[in-house]
Chain A
Amino acid sequence: SQELEQSPQSLIVQEGKNLTINCTSSKTLYGLYWYKQKYGEGLIFLMMLQKGGEEKSHEKITAKLDEKKQQSSLHITASQPSHAGIYLCGADLQGAQKLVFGQGTRLTINP
């Protein structure tokens, strides 16, 4: 969806390095969801953010939603090969209760 812009589109990092993926919308995000997808497989839910300023962590992955609820970032600390895949942000835009997604960020981890 062009209503959600992800950056970068692809990312190659050395194992052990930190990285950040961004998701931006011009509309208010009533719910922001991060998913991970491996090639040929379905999407796996990672985290959901709803409140402005909210931050959640799971293992080495941290996601934040800004105060204005229009931008989210996903940060991976000390990346590992298991982090490789496509990361997608999805959002319920303006409470329409339908989930739309950004184009995704393809993450490659080099050993």
Chain B
Amino acid sequence: DAGVIQSPRHEVTEMGQEVTLRCKPISGHNSLFWYRQTMMRGLELLIYFNNNVPIDDSGMPEDRFSAKMPNASFSTLKIQPSEPRDSAVYFCASSPRGGTEAFFGQGTRLTVV
């Protein structure tokens, strides 16, 4: 198995632009998580899905952030409009089910200038 696949690995964009991060979870996994990592705040849980349904989005910082999971093999995290303070590494992770270990992708390093 290729593991959790995220794209792109690096993204540099100008303030105000829309950014879309993509994630392909491990086949057969029912739970999917989006995290954001910064030096100041560490690893923050933004949203998680169970069987493609958003269960808890309380970590999404503001309305500029949205996440979708149209099917079991694909999820997106969108930021519109982007701001410099959104610069961070965004991780996607999947697990066979809630309450088991999560497997992480390599992350997307986002820089908003």
Chain A residues proximal to chain B, CB less than 8 Å: 1, 30-31, 33, 35, 40-45, 48, 88, 90, 92, 95-104
Contacts and interface: CB of A to CB of B under 8 A. Distances in A.
Contact of B107 (A1, A42, A44, A48): A42
B42 interface: yes
A92 B103 contact: no
A92 B99 contact: yes
Contacts of B8: none
B102 interface: yes
Nearest to B31: A97
Contacts, number: 59
Contact of B98 (A90, A98, A100, A104): A98
Interface residues of B, number: 26
A42 B43 contact: no
A104 B101 contact: no
A78 to B, nearest CB: 26
Give the interface centre of A30, A92, A97, A103 by most chain B CB atoms within 10 Å. A97
B106 interface: yes
A99 B42 contact: no
A30 B100 CA distance: 10
